[in-house]
Every structure is written in structure tokens, then in C-alpha cells.
Chain A
Amino acid sequence: MEAQSTSLNYLPIIFQLLVALGFVVFTMTLTHLIGPKRKTADKLVAFESGIKSIGNARQPFSIKYFLVAILFVLFDVEVIFMYPWAVNFREFGLNGLIEMFIFMGTLLLGFIYIIKKRALDWD
């Protein structure tokens, strides 16, 4: 630690800022410069897995889809908690088991709520 607090001591921070900015600018310019460019009409068409794209991509779609997707993500992420627990299952012992049951129970209550609210019914 420094004995004196002067503006000189801010140098590392400014350095960090510069490096962060510089990296972005550097890589963007570099790829722009060294990348080979051959522009043909076919190449500039949006690539959709070989299928010809028709119409606008920004179409309204059912909110239900969004809801289901979000709920999936929610429960999907919760599962991640179980991995570290499973690895250390023995060390945690009975307490760990109870805690995990409380966690899962709460999750289950949420699931009941979702079902009751008919969030998963498509119609």
C-alpha cells in the first residue's frame, strides 16, 4: 500500500480503462482489416439454415411461448443448485438433506402455483 495518496496512484485504474477500451478497439479494427471480404448478392442474404427467408423476422408470436420459455429457464437454473449439493452430499449429512428438501418444496409450491394459474395451458 502506498504511503501517499496522490493522483499518480490512480494510474493503474486509468491503465485498466485504457486497456479495456484498447482491447475492444484493437480487435474490432483488426478483424475488420485482416478478414477477407467477398461480397456477392447471395452472400448478403440472411442465412436461415439453407431455407429461403420469407417476410419479416419481427413477427408477433404468442406470449404463451415466452411464458413457457421463461418458466423453463427458471426451473432449469434452479437445478444448477443441485450439482454442488450432490457433489458434497455426504459432508452435508442430514441437515443438507433437509435443507435441500425445503428448497425443493418451495420450488414445488411455485410449480403448483404455475399449474393453478394455468400458465402451462396453451389455450
Chain B
Amino acid sequence: MDNLLWLIPALPLVGAMLLILIGNLLPKTYVAIIGVGSITISAIVVLLTGYSFLSSPPEGGQLTQTLWVWFEVANFKPEITLYLDSLSLVFIFVITFIGALIHIYSAGFMAEDKDYSRFFACMNLFVFSMLILVLADNLLLLYLGWEGVGLCSYLLIGFWHESHANGYAARKAFIITRIGDTAMAIGLFILFYQFGTLSINGILQSAPNLWPVGSAIATATALLLLAGGAGKSAQLPLQTWLPDAMAGPSPVSALIHAATMVTAGVYLIARMHVIFELSPAAQMTVAVIGAATLFIAGFSALTQHDIKRVLAYSTISQIGYMFLALGVGAYSAAIFHFMIHAFFKALLFLAAGAVIEALHHEHSMFRMGGLKDKLPVVFWTFLIGCASLAALPLISSGFYSKDQILWYSWAAEGGDAILWVLALSGAFITAAYTTRMMILTFWGESKTEIGHKPGKLMTIPLVVLAFFALFAGFIELPHNFGHFTLFSDLLHPVLPETRLGESETNEWIFQLVAATVTLGGISLAYYFYYKQPQRLSNLRSSGAFNRIYDFWLSGWGFDKIYDTLIVKPVVYLANINRRDIIDQIYNAITSGTTALYRLLSFTQSGSLRWYVMGLIVGAILILTIQIML
């Protein structure tokens, strides 16, 4: 089965190409068959590949497949090579499996849309780019996928392009991630300059020999890569695009802005972990950024009205957990949380999409409510997703993945009490806003009449995802009970095991504290939003509370800060420079070349006599050069 690896990205590409070329001519049924079928078959191929990978592990735990060498000139030899190890296996599994479920859901969700084939073409193209990103053997190919997912994200956020706001959101996402991409490109240049290759394995093997631990160049490179990752994964300070990206259709939010693309930064850092380990400062930065992001985004999530924005901030916050784990060296914990998060967050987005569609595109949670009995399937699956997000102890898979991170943020070698406190308060807030969202949406009195209920195409993916959101956590149990480490054993050959700090810690206590905090968060929200809603309105009448509330609602005012600090000065400068000094240079080039063209075209007189003269002048010119030398 090893030789089927190329099929995994090829199928979505073929699907995308077919839909781009002839999608408009086909009836919707065929479009859906092509769009969904390509990903589904790809997912099946992943399962087969994964089975053979696990049952008979290849040599060295990795599998490379060189499709072709693009060209080979001098010593520049860009190869199109796919590379599979357990890390990329986890990613391609999540991408294709969840991708397939979301595609099935989309077939129902987008059924009324007039641009049905454009939607599936972009989605297929996205899956292709994402697979290239995680399967790339060298950083050049990785970058191709990286830019490809950025492009597809842009296309899909602005999918309903009739509205200006959507176009704005798409541009914002594109431009802000571009800042990160540029930093990353510079990082890649440094790597190529230093190592003479862009092959990931080559770099990882020679980096420890070439760069001493803590060297400036390692730190610089790691920070540049981190900037790229932070842009894609919506981490501080480049997180502001993700909440606006919710302008896209819900399946897009589920697939791109929750499950897969936004975790590309996590993948990048995990893949290049050797570089980060060479620079303790950079690794510490990763942890700090993660902790700060999860804390800040959590508070913002607590105050949002739009159900999708809550989920967006929650995504930022959860990816913050992954960064935190990466920063303290708990790589497998980060990847584990990535996988669990992909399941429950995709579930939550899809369920939210179902709710929104049922309520005639109503996004505000304050106009929802009472949906518990009207949409039972959505209710139960959403509940499971929320439990996992809130990390409800013991029964939800989110507990197992998040608990690991919480513990490591203290106990691991890079861990720290402050990080732990931040992570813990993040967990508290997460539980609170999750409960708030659940209560506002499904309990209380009904405020909007529901339209049509979601069909089978939409509910089946919800049920499947709910199953995984509930049980996927059991493949990795904590050390103190069960000590079942299937997942980290799988990743062990690729990612180093987490080194614990020197101080003895008792894992039990941490788990108890985490569980208590989660339950505390839940009961707080339960108290304010279900038991005593009037207490909340009393609080809201006080000015100070309102200011903080609005502050959090606007995402800690980051948009405003950037607007004042960057956008306004740039616009101001642009206004001053309306006649553009730099542009004059280009104008000069243009007029210069045009003038040269005019001058030269005089020689093209069409007169034979003149042309003969030209030949003679040429001959004389050659003779002159010879005599002069």
C-alpha cells in the first residue's frame, strides 16, 4: 500500500481541477459526487496507508516517495517528494477524515447555493494544499502548500462576495497572515543559506552540529518560523483575523478555521522542533505566546454575541494551549490536543451551522434559545462537543488532552508556575463561556422560530464527530491512571519525549485542581445565565463592568490598537505621499524604456538601404572591437 501515498493529495487535486474546468456544466448531484467523493476516497486511502504503516512500520518509522525531481540545474534540485511519518500521519488522518465528514455535511448545507461547484472546487483545492503542506519532504513544497491553504482560505472567507463585509474579512485574513508568511519566507531563506538545502530531514539532522544551543542565528530563525506559525494559527499578536474569518460558510469555518489550516503553525513548530530546541529563548517565547493567547482569547469568547465568534475565539484559545504545550516541550501533548480539538471544534462549528441555518441565518445567541427539544440531534451532539471543549472530567476526550497540557505546563522542563496559572485560568474561562453558549442557545425560551430542520446529510457527520469527540481521548490516558500511551508511543519516533522538570510533582493534585476549576467555571456560568440571569443584568448596569465587557467583546481592543498604531499612520503617510516618491522611480523606468523604444523604432524604417547600412555598421562594429582589444 506504500505506493498509494501520492493518491492522497492527487485525488482532491483531480477533484478540484474537474470542478474548476467543467463544474459549471454539471448538475449539482455530480458536483457533489466529485467534490465529496474525491475526499472520501482519499480518506479511505489514508486509512489503508495508516493501517499498513502501523501494522508493518517502515524502516526508521518514515516513508518517502519521490514523485519527481522538478529539475536539476547545477546543485539546485527541487524535488517533489512526499514524506510520511507518524506526525504527518496524524495530520493527514485528521485532514481527510474530518474533511470528508465536512464535505458530506456541506453537500447538504450548501444545497441551495448557486455557486455550488465553486464551493467544492475551493474546498477540494484546500484539502489538496493542506495535504501537500503536511506531506512535504522539503520546506519549499511545504511553503507551496502553506500559500495554497492561505489562498483557499481567502477564497472561502469571501465566498459570499456580494457582501462588502465578507470581502473585507477575506482581505484582512489574507493580509495579516501574509505578515507571518513573509517572516517565515525569510526564515526559509536563512535555512537555505545556512544549510544549502531545504530538505526537512537534512536540516533537522545537521542543525545541532552547525548551530550551538542558544546561538543568535538559531533564535532568529526559530522566531521567524514562529511568526509564520503565529500568523497562520492566529496567535498573538496576529490573531485578529480569525474572528472576522467567520464570514465564510460554516463548513469552511469548521474545516479551515478550526480543524486544519489554523493548526498549520502547530505542525510547523512540531516539525521543526529541533530548531526550537536549539534556542531556549525562542521556545520560551512559544510557550508565553501560547499562554497569553489562550488567556486573552478566552475572555473575549466570554462576551461575544455571535455564536461563531465565540467558537472562533475559543479556537484561538485552544490553539494557544497547543502552542503552550509546544513551548514547554510537550510535543505529543500538543499534537494530541490538536487531534481532539479538531474533532470537537469541527463538531461545534457544524452544529452551530445547523442551528444558524435552522434559524434563518440568525447568528446572535441572544436571539436563539429553547432549541433543546426542537433540534434534538443537534442539541445532543453540540452538548458532547461542549463537554469536550470545557474538558469535563473523565467522560470527555477534551479532558484527557487538556489535562496533559496543564500538567506539563508546570511539570515539564520548560514549565513554569505562571504558565500553569494562566493555563488554569484559561480552563476556568473555557468552561464558563462554553456553558454560557450552551445555555443561551439551547435552554430558555425560544426567541426565533426554526425554519427547516437539518437533513440526514448534515446530521450523520455530526453524530460521527460526536462519537470521536467523546471517545477519541481514551487512546491516551494519564500516567497515574491507566497509563495508556498509544498516541505518544506513535509519535515517539518523530517527536522527543517530554522531559520532566527536576522538582517532584504529584500529578493527582493537578488533575483534581483542573477538574475543580472546570466544574467551577461551569457552575459560574450556570449561576449567571440560568439560575440568576437578573444578577448579570444588575452587574451590567455598573459602568466599570460594562467597560471591561466591551473591552473583551472587541477582542481586547487589538483591532483598535493596530488601527491607531499601524493603519492610521500608514494611511497618513500615504496621504502625504499621494504623489508617491517611490513611484517616480518606476515612472522614470517606464518613460525611459518607452523613450528607448521610440528611439529604437526609428531604426525600423522599413527601408532596405537602411538595413544594408545596418549590416555594414555591424561589421564595422565588430572590426572596431577587434582592433581595440
Interface residues, chain A, with chain B CB atoms under 8 Å away: 7, 10
Measured CB to CB, the closest approach of chain B to A7, in angstroms, equals 5
- B69 touches A (CB below 8 Å): no
Q: 1/0 per residue B615-629: CB within 8 Å of A? A: 000000000000110
- Of chain B, the residue at the smallest CB distance from A9 is B627
Measured CB to CB, the closest approach of chain A to B531, in angstroms, equals 104
Contacts of B627 in A (CB 8 A): 7, 10
- Of chain B, the residue at the smallest CB distance from A10 is B627
- What 3 pairs between A and B have smallest CB-CB spacing? A7-B627, A10-B627, A7-B628
- Of chain B, the residue at the smallest CB distance from A5 is B629
Contacts of A7 in B (CB 8 A): 627-628
Contacts of B628 in A (CB 8 A): 7
- Interface of chain B, main secondary structure: helix
Interface residues, chain B, with chain A CB atoms under 8 Å away: 627-628
Measured CB to CB, the closest approach of chain A to B56, in angstroms, equals 70
Measured CB to CB, the closest approach of chain A to B533, in angstroms, equals 102
Contacts of A10 in B (CB 8 A): 627
Measured CB to CB, the closest approach of chain A to B624, in angstroms, equals 10
A-B contact pairs, 3 of them (CB 8 A): A7-B627, A7-B628, A10-B627
- Interface of chain A, main secondary structure: helix
Measured CB to CB, the closest approach of chain B to A34, in angstroms, equals 33
C-alpha spacing A10/B625, complex, angstroms: 13
C-alpha spacing A10/B628, complex, angstroms: 11
C-alpha spacing A107/B628, complex, angstroms: 52
C-alpha spacing A56/B426, complex, angstroms: 110
Measured CB to CB, the closest approach of chain B to A100, in angstroms, equals 40
C-alpha spacing A10/B629, complex, angstroms: 12
Measured CB to CB, the closest approach of chain B to A91, in angstroms, equals 43
C-alpha spacing A7/B623, complex, angstroms: 11
C-alpha spacing A10/B627, complex, angstroms: 8
C-alpha spacing A7/B627, complex, angstroms: 5
- Of chain A, the residue at the smallest CB distance from B627 is A7
C-alpha spacing A7/B628, complex, angstroms: 7
Measured CB to CB, the closest approach of chain B to A12, in angstroms, equals 13
- Of chain A, the residue at the smallest CB distance from B629 is A5
- Of chain B, the residue at the smallest CB distance from A13 is B623
C-alpha spacing A70/B625, complex, angstroms: 44
- Of chain B, the residue at the smallest CB distance from A7 is B627
Measured CB to CB, the closest approach of chain B to A86, in angstroms, equals 42
Measured CB to CB, the closest approach of chain A to B255, in angstroms, equals 72
C-alpha spacing A7/B626, complex, angstroms: 8
Measured CB to CB, the closest approach of chain B to A87, in angstroms, equals 40
Measured CB to CB, the closest approach of chain B to A48, in angstroms, equals 33
Measured CB to CB, the closest approach of chain B to A77, in angstroms, equals 28
C-alpha spacing A10/B622, complex, angstroms: 13
C-alpha spacing A10/B623, complex, angstroms: 10
- Of chain B, the residue at the smallest CB distance from A6 is B627
Measured CB to CB, the closest approach of chain B to A8, in angstroms, equals 10
Measured CB to CB, the closest approach of chain A to B629, in angstroms, equals 8
C-alpha spacing A16/B148, complex, angstroms: 69
C-alpha spacing A65/B183, complex, angstroms: 80
C-alpha spacing A44/B596, complex, angstroms: 54
C-alpha spacing A10/B626, complex, angstroms: 10
Measured CB to CB, the closest approach of chain A to B616, in angstroms, equals 13
- Of chain A, the residue at the smallest CB distance from B626 is A10
Measured CB to CB, the closest approach of chain B to A39, in angstroms, equals 33
C-alpha spacing A72/B162, complex, angstroms: 79
Measured CB to CB, the closest approach of chain A to B216, in angstroms, equals 55
Measured CB to CB, the closest approach of chain A to B433, in angstroms, equals 87
- Of chain A, the residue at the smallest CB distance from B628 is A7
Measured CB to CB, the closest approach of chain A to B179, in angstroms, equals 60
C-alpha spacing A7/B629, complex, angstroms: 8
C-alpha spacing A37/B628, complex, angstroms: 49
Measured CB to CB, the closest approach of chain A to B261, in angstroms, equals 67
C-alpha spacing A119/B115, complex, angstroms: 68
Measured CB to CB, the closest approach of chain B to A58, in angstroms, equals 21
